[in-house]
Structure formats: C-alpha cells, structure tokens
Amino acid sequence: MGRRKKIVQECEKLMDKPDQIRNIAIAAHVDHGKTTLSDNLLAGAGMISDETAGQQLAMDTKDDEQERGITIDAANVSMTHEYEDRNHLINLIDTPGHVDFGGDVTRAMRAVDGALVVVDAVEGAMPQTETVLRQALREGVKPALFINKVDRLISELQEGPQEMQERLLKVIRNVNELIRGMTEDMDDVDDWTVSVEEGTVGFGSALYKWGVSMPSMQATGLDFGDIIDMERNDQRQELHEKTPLSDVVLDMVCEHFPDPLDAQPRRIPRIWRGDDTLDVAEQMRLVDDDGEVVLMVTDIGIDPHAGEVASGRVFSGGLEKGQELYVSGTAGKNRVQSVGIYMGGEREEVERVPAGNIAAVTGLRDAIAGSTVSSIEMTPFESIEHISEPVITKS
C-alpha cells in the first residue's frame, strides 16, 4: 500500500474519536515563516520528504502562489501524530499571510479550535500578528506562539544567550499584551496568554527544521547554550535530528489545543445565536455524531475534475454521499455528491466525515463561504466578520 493511502486510512480511523482530533490554523504576518513551518509539519507526518520541506511549499497549491511566493488560499491538510502513546488526527488549515487576504484568515478561524501564531524573532509582533490574534480570539480559538527564525539571532545578529533570551521574552510580552487586551471582556475563556513554562510557546528555525519548547528541552536536555553552539558550529542537521521542529510543534498542538469536545461547548454560543434549548444546539455543543448534520462552509475551492468543492467544519452529525441538505439563504436542498478530507492540497474521498472534523464536500452547488449546510432548517451561523487591516491611503 502506498504511503499516502496508509495515511488516509490512519486519518479515517481517528475521525470518529473527537478527543484525539485537533483542528488548527497556522497564522502569521507575511514572511514570518508560516509556509515553511507547515511544510515541516507535513514532512514530520511523512507526507512530503524531509529534504524537500521548505522548498516544496506543499500548501501553496495554486500556480500563481508559487510564482508570487505568497500563500493565497487557505489550504487544508489532515495528518496524524503520535503523542503520549496515542495517535492524533490533526486537521490543519494554512491561512494566507498577505495583507489583502484577511477575509480568508477569518473564515479559516471559524473551522478550527487552536491557532499557532508564528512570529519572526527578528521583526517581532507586526500589525498582522495583531490582526490574526484578534481574528482567532474573536472566534473563540485558543492561541499558541511559535517564535521563528531564531537561527538569525545566532548566526546573523551574533547574539549570546542573555541577549537572545531578552529578545524572545520581549516578543512573548508583546504578544501577551495583545492577547490580554483582546480577551479582557471575554468571560467564556480562561487566561489565554501564552507561557514558556506552560509549554504554549515554542522557538526555533523552520528553515533549518529544529525547534524547542520547555517540555522538549526537559526531554532532550538541550539548553539555549547548546543550541547556540550547534547553530554556530554548523551542526544544524544534528540539531534537527535531536530536536525536530515538527515533533516539538505537534506535541504542543496535541497537549495544549482543545479537542472538539472541549471547544464546541464554548464556541457554539459564540458563533451561533439560535435557540440554545433546541436539540440541534445541544448536538452541536456535544459534537454529537448521531445528531443532525451541521456543516459550516468556510471556503469554496475549484477542483479541475470535480468542480466546486466546499470545505468546512462539521459541528454535528456525519456527512455522507447522497444526503439532501439545506443551504442557508437558499430555497430547496442540495445533494452531497462526495465527501472527503484533504491531504496536502489534494482531496481524498472517504465514506463519511463525522462531527468535529474538517470536510471537503462536492455537490453543494448553492453553498458559498459562510453558508450553513444542515439536515434540518435552522438558524444559520453568525456571519463571519472580516477584520481588515488598517488601510494606509496616500493623499
């Protein structure tokens, strides 16, 4: 059996175990390394080769993206990761980092429960870091932080351990100030600031494929001094082998991001304002696989063979071929032609996509990004508010 087929089968085995699912987005200011980091994760999961991670730009599926070197569409990918002797299904949405594509970022946040925010160690938090954080928090999505390009502090800026630590702490402080400011009036979340001690902050180099966090440093015994020595002595490959970025980040995702069972009771009242005493409200809060089918479409893509493909989050019930579903804002029903998951930008058809997952669906001809698709007529989800960047106009 091919490697790809095997991964699809592994994903399928985990799809109906919501406590082993993590739906996540990676978001960043442009050029801070989101695409390079995503490629590391795909390579770590065995989906692209280790050597080509960083060059392959697997998440950039459109030709014009490859040419322009920026990520345009939010691409989806499902992968598996073993953490503490349990396999996990990680549904990852890559979000555009370019200033013009903020609407896609907001939509991507609707589908996920955790957002890994990537910040360039040299540049620090930038305006778009603030925007993506605001988008995540507004959707009730928990943030974690990855400080990237740490290799540059060592090799280019020649910083020592003290200077480096001060710089990294400053980035964390800035990000936490932003999070605090955005969550102070939210009574449905605990403290969502990030912390090195708690393991919600990672550091490293997506380019050279190494990463560290407090738990990983405790496990490997490597400290900042060792890392600086290895970076300087051209032992980057060894550093990657000792403390691979993908393991550090995916362990963090499994440990700290909520699974759908944790997330949906908190997120549903925030994103859906229907009658909360209805059965369907309870089914969505509880990720009820036997409940009514409820899908929130977050993106419409075009497949050269299948035509329009809707992707989105299944909040309750299970999506299957042949179902006749209501599409909010339109009359009549659409018939599901196929259901699937995404593997590195490609769609793989499966029999059924259960509640708590991100699905790819064909046949929903009336659906647009933002549609609520359901087996009963119901109040649609709140429209997705697009938070735009500050516009600078020339006079």
CB atoms within 10 A of CB 394: 3
Q: Per CB under 6 A, which region of 30-38, 174-182, 275-283, 344-352 contacts ligand GDP?
A: 30-38
Q: Is 35 annotated as a binding residue?
A: yes
- 15, 133, 206, 359: residue in contact with ligand GDP (rule CB under 6 A): 206
Angle at the Cα of 67 from the Cα atoms of 62 and 71, rounded to 5 degrees: 55
Query: Tell me, what amino acid is at 11?
Result: C
Which residues in the 134-193 window bind ligand GDP by CB under 6 A?
Answer: 148-149, 151-152
- C-beta of 206 vs 367, nearer to ligand GDP: 206
Binding mask 65-94 for ligand GDP (x = CB under 6 A): ------x-----------------------
104 part of the interface to ligand GDP, by CB under 6 A: no
Question: How does strand 201-205 pair with strand 142-148?
Answer: parallel
Least distance (Å) from ligand GDP to the CB of residue 202? 12
CB atoms within 10 A of CB 46: 16
292 part of the interface to ligand GDP, by CB under 6 A: no
Which residues in the 207-236 window bind ligand GDP by CB under 6 A?
Answer: 207
40 part of the interface to ligand GDP, by CB under 6 A: no
The Cα 128–Cα 227 span in angstroms is: 29
Q: Could you give the C-alpha distances from 134 to 171, 346, 395, in angstroms and in order?
A: 17, 30, 29
Residue reference for tokens 């980035």: 171
Binding mask 327-366 for ligand GDP (x = CB under 6 A): ----------------------------------------
Q: Is 97 annotated as a binding residue?
A: yes
CB-neighbour burial class of residue 156 (10 A; exposed 0-12, middle 13-18, buried 19+): exposed
Phi/psi for 91 (5° steps) reads -95, 115
108 part of the interface to ligand GDP, by CB under 6 A: no
33 part of the interface to ligand GDP, by CB under 6 A: yes
The Cα 73–Cα 153 span in angstroms is: 31
- For residue 227, the surrounding DSSP H or E stretch is helix 224-232
For ligand GDP, the binding residues (CB under 6 A) are 28, 30-36, 71, 97, 148-149, 151-152, 205-207
